[in-house]
Amino acid sequence: MTLFRTVCLSAALLIPSVSGKVCADDLPQLGDSASGYVSLQQEYRLGRIWLRQLRAHAQTLDDALLTTFLENEIFRLIPHSDVPHPQFEFVIVDSPNLNAFAVPGGIIGINFGLLLYTRDEDELSAVLAHELAHLSQRHYARQIEQSQRQEPVAIATLLASILLIATNNADAGFAGLMTSQAASIQSQLAFSRDWEQEADRIGIKTLVSAGLDPQAMSSMFEQMLQANRFSGRPPEFLLTHPVTESRVAEAADRAEPFPRKPRLTSLEFLILKQAAQRRYRLTKDNQNTWFEEVRTRNKKTSVQYAAASYNLARIALEMEQPQQGLTYLGDIGSPWNQHPAVAALQAQLLDAEGKTAEAIETLNKALPYAPESLVLLTSKADILRRNGQAAAATGILKQLSASRSTDPAVWRRLGETAGDAGQTVLAFRANGEYLFYSGRQNQALRQMELALKEAKKAGDFQQEAIISQRLQVMAASPTTLR
């Protein structure tokens, strides 16, 4: 998916301005020559178009724990990265392949499969810090500056090929590059050696400033080399970020002057790393055995044991064995049993047992300690909706949609729940927002038209004005990077 980014910048000079609310004062201006080719406003607008296209063509994940984990990882790094974008959006692609990406305009994401290859959070952060360094140094805009001095790239050919690569059809993607411009296009898909070294250097400084282990950069590169040796083709990340033994050594040398730091392995990280193992490498027949073996190998007080117990409880919920799931959660000791994710799963298991009041009480006790927790709030909304309290669930989701206004998963939940609550105008509007941010513009416009019609019928002039304005913005938004 890193390959997809060149298109965004090349296309910036060709597409019309996007109608929508983009505050120029919020976007810092740089005096470098690259800004004359691609402005930060163009990057912002193109990044949002890119994200909608990605969601339309690739399977993404909207798991609340996974989403908040990625957000927390990025927000820990951003203040130390000098990235010139005040607004960010995040996405997780449902793919076992090793990849991460930071698209100009503040779009940051990973393949869920990246967690299969990272041994701790520092290594994951090293990959993200490297990508953020490409953004902070305007490497994408500088690529365009260089390409404009040479033969321009055929945008349509590049876009079609990279879209195939981004959706895990790399062979077809590279076949699409076999044109008269193949050499020119392929040369732009990868950063230069100098820019890679610059991103390594700045990424290491970001790790140090964020209090993480600077040696995580070289150890993650070693993991990538190992993955490459046992793979039929290079991981997506290596297609545009070639890693060699000498580069690993250089990264280690750059980190040497800085003190090493203890590596981070939080409960969230281990839960998700184990979940990735289950999703991509285990079968239904051996997953319970695998997690039980993890518990056997570790002390009952360890975070590894807690993570495995959590995943076993989640499997039990899916297998409609809530009592067994609660038993597994009961094996999680302090402080791990105080985590919002554990409280949310406990509430879901209690609800599955028919103990809805106890489930809601569990969430209400946890929320004061994490009042903005996406995991807790979505769990509460889901339980309320399942038990005939759709209006109360809608209230929770409306608040989430205000704070996460570009998150399609939140809008999807709100649309479904508002429909159950008989709030027709809100249901149509939320469905429209969900479809728009998922890259399905025509369907989104139809839902917004229905919302507008219902608002007029109800005489709700305020909603009529809001929906009408939003409909105009959606209709004016480009659907491709042409």
Task: Kindly report the backbone phi and psi dihedral angles of residue 102, in degrees, each rounded to the nearest multiple of 5, phi listed first.
Answer: -135, 100
- How far, in Å, are 105, 136, 337 from residue 200 at the CA level? 21, 12, 38
Mean pLDDT of the 13-23 span? 30
pLDDT surpassing 80 at residue 350: yes
pLDDT digits (tens, 9 = 90+) for 366-379: 999 999 999 999 99
Q: Classify domain 388-482 by CATH architecture.
A: Alpha Horseshoe (1.25)
Question: What pLDDT, on the 0 to 100 scale, is given for residue 426?
Answer: 98
Task: Note whether 481 and 154 are within 8 A (CB).
Answer: no
For 170-187, the pLDDT digits (tens) are: 555 445 544 444 445 555
* Model confidence at 76: pLDDT above 80: yes
**81: helix, coil or strand?**
coil
What is the per-residue pLDDT for 28? 36
Check if the beta carbon of residue 344 is closer than 8 Å to that of residue 309.
no
- Asked if 437 contacts 453 with a C-beta cutoff of 8 angstroms, the reply is no
Amino acid 155: pLDDT: 34
Average pLDDT (276-296) is 97
Between strands 89-93 and 100-103, the pairing is unpaired
Q: Where is average pLDDT lowest: 196-205, 227-236, 249-258? A: 227-236
Residue 36: CB atoms within 10 A of its CB come to: 11
More confident position, 96 or 238:
96
Better-scored residue on pLDDT, 195 or 73 = 73
pLDDT (mean) for 269-289: 97
- The single residue listed with the structure tokens 């807690």 is 306
Structural contact between residues 124 and 107, judged by C-beta atoms closer than 8 angstroms? no
Q: Where exactly are the structural domains of the chain?
A: 2-255, 388-482
Q: Is residue 108 within 8 Å of residue 9, measured between CB atoms? A: no
- Give kind and range of the element (H or E) at residue 185: helix 182-189
Identify the band that residue 123 occupies on the pLDDT scale cut at 50, 70 and 90: very high
Residue 8, pLDDT > 50, answer no
Q: Judge whether residue 415 has pLDDT over 70.
A: yes
> Of the given ranges (23-32, 90-99, 339-348, 362-371), which has the lowest mean pLDDT?
23-32
Rounded CA gap, 447 and 433, in Å?
Answer: 9
User: pTM for this structure?
Assistant: 0.86
Q: How far is CA 26 from CA 43, 190, 224, 477, in A?
A: 13, 30, 37, 21
Task: Determine how β-strand 107-111 pairs with β-strand 100-103.
Answer: antiparallel
Length of the chain: 482
| Distance of alpha carbon 269 from alpha carbon 119, whole angstroms | 10
DSSP 114: G
The answer for residues whose C-beta is within 8 angstroms of residue 13's C-beta and 6 or more apart is 37, 38, 144
Name the strand (E) or helix (H) holding 89. Answer: strand 89-93
Give residue 4's pLDDT: 32
Integer CA distances (angstroms), 72 to 69, 116, 128, 334, 413, in order: 5, 19, 12, 22, 22
Structure token digits, residue 285? 């027949």
